[in-house]
């Protein structure tokens, strides 16, 4: 029996998640949330580049989707610049009895190390809805924790674990993150959000803690250098 899944958003991450859900033999797409009236009413296939219609129409009616019978919600709406709203969304979904998998709030890749402001509402919602919550991704996520831990299994000894991101951001279709968070196009003396104190630790600290846990190490500190 297939898991009944709702996809929440069709942005840069959401449309790929949507394709994955539609094509997965163990999943049945039963709902699709979108943020704009322009997308509402369109078939899910049309919003992720697939040819064959699914019969599932996108909706921006949050209450109707929360009332729907579903096993899980894949929540990929942006959380970097709207963390409070993302937490409220996911808490409401969890409280409605649906499990949530997400890539939106990156500190939650390691809940034990995240601020209580992030975890407390979700824990309360999980208890109310008897649901579960899981956050991961590629970065932060797989490339920072699972892959390095996998590689340690074929290493005789470990002196340093270094994870670097090399990316052509010319193709990164998220102007708010590029220009406001990262500071592309700003004057050289401008301090972008990403380089403000503690922001790097907020975003990637969870993956460092996960890696340390996987290696059985206790961290002295997480230091930031620019």
In three-state secondary structure terms, 186 is: coil
Q: Which helix (H) or strand (E) holds 135?
A: strand 133-135
Q: Read off the pTM.
A: 0.90
In three-state secondary structure terms, 202 is: helix
pLDDT tens, per residue, the chain with 226 residues: 899 999 999 998 999 999 999 999 999 999 999 999 999 999 999 999 999 999 999 999 999 999 999 999 999 998 988 999 999 999 999 999 999 999 999 999 999 888 899 999 999 999 999 999 999 998 888 998 889 999 999 999 999 999 888 889 888 888 888 998 899 999 999 999 889 999 899 889 999 999 999 999 999 999 998 8
In three-state secondary structure terms, 183 is: coil
Q: What does the DSSP 8-state code read for residue 180?
A: I
Retrieve residue 45's tokens: 């296939």
Contacts for 49 with CB less than 8 Å, ≥ 6 apart: 15, 19
Between CA 54 and CA 43 the distance in angstroms is: 7
Contacts for 167 with CB less than 8 Å, ≥ 6 apart: none
Between CA 94 and CA 177 the distance in angstroms is: 27
Between CA 63 and CA 137 the distance in angstroms is: 27
Query: Domain residue spans in the chain?
Result: 3-135, 146-215
In contact, 85 and 8? CB cutoff 8 Å: no
Phi-psi region of 6 (alpha: psi -120 to 50; beta: other; left: phi over 0): beta
3-135 folds as: Rossmann fold (3.40.50)
């Amino acid at each position: 029996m297939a898991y009944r899944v709702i996809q929440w958003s069709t942005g840069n991450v959401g449309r790929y998640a949507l394709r994955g859900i539609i094509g997965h033999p163990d999943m049945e797409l039963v709902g699709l949330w979108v943020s704009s009236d322009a997308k509402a009413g369109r078939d899910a296939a049309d919003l992720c580049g697939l040819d064959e219609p699914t019969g599932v129409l996108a909706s921006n009616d949050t209450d109707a989707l929360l009332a729907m019978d579903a096993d899980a919600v894949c929540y990929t709406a942006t959380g970097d610049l709207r963390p409070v709203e993302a937490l409220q969304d996911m808490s409401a979904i969890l409280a409605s009895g649906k499990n949530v998998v997400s890539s939106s709030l990156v500190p939650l890749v390691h809940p034990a190390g995240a601020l209580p402001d992030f975890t407390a509402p979700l824990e309360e919602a999980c208890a109310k809805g008897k649901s579960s919550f899981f956050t991961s991704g590629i970065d932060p996520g797989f490339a920072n924790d699972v892959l390095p831990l996998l590689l340690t299994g074929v290493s005789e000894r470990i002196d340093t674990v270094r994870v670097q991101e090399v990316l052509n951001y010319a193709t990164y279709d998220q102007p708010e993150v590029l220009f406001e968070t990262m500071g592309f196009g700003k004057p050289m003396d401008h301090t972008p959000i990403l380089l403000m104190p503690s922001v790097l630790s907020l975003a990637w600290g969870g993956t460092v803690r996960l890696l340390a846990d996987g290696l059985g190490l206790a961290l002295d500190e997480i230091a930031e250098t620019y």
